Amino acid sequence: MFQPKPLWNPYAAGALLGVALLLTFLITGHGLGASGFATRLTAAVSETVAPAATEANSYLGAFVANDNNPLDAWITWEVIGVALGALIGAITAGRFRISMDGPPKLSTAGRLALALIGGLLAGFGARVAVGCTSGLGLSGAAVLSTAGFLFLMGFFGAGAGIGLMMRRLYK
């Protein structure tokens, strides 16, 4: 059976990630992100589907004011780059496969339901914190910001607490 190439050593992958982040700060003055794109995409979709409600909304309205295209931002190109980089990585390592992760004990529907709920929690949480694991956890911690480390404490705290509770689903 075809075997995908092994993953990189965590320190090697971490070093490449660190160099990418360092270059990002040098070139743009800010770090890497992800959830900002999800916010802008939501504003763009919402503006197409329900323009009046979007413009009237106190949060999304700011993204579409004055006929602005919310997707016209650096982070859109960055996330397209992330998608391309991941695709190249997966294909060159023989890891691209239509498949599904999630707790092996659950049915397909159960895993997809968990993925949707998890995404919803993270999407909501990223707007509360004004950033996600990339923007706050990684980029925020790399400039030694208090926000970055407070975020990481919450992230690993809740993640480990709930992760350990769900342990039996993975056995």
Partner 1 sequence: MSDIASGLFLGLLFGFALERAGFASGCKLTAQLRFQDWAVFNVMFTAILVCATGLYFLDLAGVISTQALYTPTVFLWATLIGGLLIGAGMAVGGYCPGTSVVSFMSGKIDGFVFFIGLLIGVVAFAGAYESIEPMLKALPGPQGQTLPELLHLPTWVILAALIGVAVAVGLLTRKSDDQPRANLGHTASAHS
Residue 106 CB, nearest approach to partner 1 (Å): 11
Distances in Å between the Cα of 116 and the Cα atoms of 83, 102, 113, 156 are: 20, 12, 5, 20
Binding to partner 1, residues 98-157 (CB under 8 A):
98-104, 111-112, 114-157
Rule CB under 8 A: say whether 64 interacts with partner 1: no
- 65, 68, 69, 87: residue in contact with partner 1 (rule CB under 8 A): 87
Q: How many CB atoms lie within 10 A of CB 30?
A: 13
d(CA 36, CA 160): 25
Nearer to partner 1, 66 or 98 (CB): 98
d(CA 122, CA 120): 5
Residue 52 CB, nearest approach to partner 1 (Å): 14
Nearer to partner 1, 66 or 117 (CB): 117
- 51, 68, 74, 107: residue in contact with partner 1 (rule CB under 8 A): 74
Rule CB under 8 A: say whether 70 interacts with partner 1: no
Binding map of partner 1 across residues 15-34, x = CB under 8 A, - = no contact: xxxxxxxxxxxxxxxxxxxx
The site that binds partner 1 (CB under 8 A) totals a number of residues, namely 126
Q: How many CB atoms lie within 10 A of CB 68?
A: 13
Rule CB under 8 A: say whether 52 interacts with partner 1: no
Task: Answer positive or negative: Cα dihedral of 20, 115, 124, 152.
Answer: negative
Block residue for tokens 């999304």: 60
Eight-state DSSP code of residue 41: H
Residue 152 CB, nearest approach to partner 1 (Å): 7
At residue 124, φ and ψ (nearest 5 deg) are: -65, -45
Rule CB under 8 A: say whether 167 interacts with partner 1: yes
Rule CB under 8 A: say whether 71 interacts with partner 1: no
